[in-house]
Structure 1
Amino acid sequence: MSSKLAEVMKQDGALAVVQLSHGGRQTQEAVNMHPFSCSDIAIQSKSVPMRFGTPIALTEAQIKTEVVDRFVYAAKFAYEHGEFACCTIKISFFVTLLV
């Protein structure tokens, strides 16, 4: 399915791009009530009209297995299924230091 989708997107010369992201503590509660994050400090904001999940702090080892390794898997999956480009956004500074 994803290979066919990539083929159709690129048939007229378009560049198929996959955007990978990790919401961390900015994950909406409706998506995940307890998202993984680099800290357990929840977002408290009266100006943002949405509720965020209560984050679960990960150890450095867990960041590698639960975040970094999953980004690698997703990037490889996209490449193997016909995507040309892959970008990442919203990786915390803490995770970036470990890569």
Structure 2
Amino acid sequence: MNVDSKGIILKNQKKNQENSGHSPTAHHLLGLAQKHQVYIGLIVILVFGAYLRSYHINYPSIGYHNMKENEYLSMALHYFNNGFSLERKVFFYDDQNFNTYA
């Protein structure tokens, strides 16, 4: 490209920017959004996926398919209530003395 064509291209870009009705900052942001639309799309998908995973995060884990999760949660509950110990204990609701070891 020669110097004249660069000048014409810059003038055309300025005219397009003036005719678009956007401020220079908004025009710059729109250009960045178009340039990085793949990354913006991935971020939107990741945020939506995190929302779906954390939607019912406070629900209890019950059922046969959550057996390992229940074991880890019971150990975490024991550590939270009684502090860390070297013994691996599993909490069962019918064990009043909490003498059950895994």
Is the TM value for this pair above 0.5?
no
TM-score of the superposed pair, with normalisation by structure 2: 0.24
User: Which entry has the higher C-alpha Rg, 1 or 2?
Assistant: 2
Higher strand share: 1
Give the TM-score of the pair, scaled to structure 1.
0.24
Structure number with the higher helix fraction is 2
- Relative CO higher for 1 or 2, CA cutoff 8 Å, sep ≥ 6? 1
